[in-house]
Amino acid sequence: SGARVYGSAHFGQGRVPILLDDVRCTGSESHIFDCAHRNPLFSSNCDHDEDAGLSCRP
Question: Chain-wide mean pLDDT for the chain?
Answer: 90
End-to-end CA separation in angstroms for the chain: 5
3-state secondary structure 6-52: ECCCCCCCCCCCCCCCCCECCCCCCCHHHCECCCCCCCCCCCHHHCC
User: How high is the pLDDT of residue 42?
Assistant: 93
> Which residue from 29, 38, 15 is spatially nearest to 54, judged by alpha carbons?
29
- Looking at residue 12, its amino acid is G
pTM beyond 0.75: the answer is no
CA 45 to CA 42: how far, in whole Å?
10
How many structural domains are present in the chain?
A: 1
Say if residue 37's pLDDT is above 80.
yes
Domain assignment of residue 5, given as a range: 1-58
Residues 17-34, mean pLDDT to the nearest whole number: 91
CATH number of the domain encompassing residue 31: 3.10.250.10
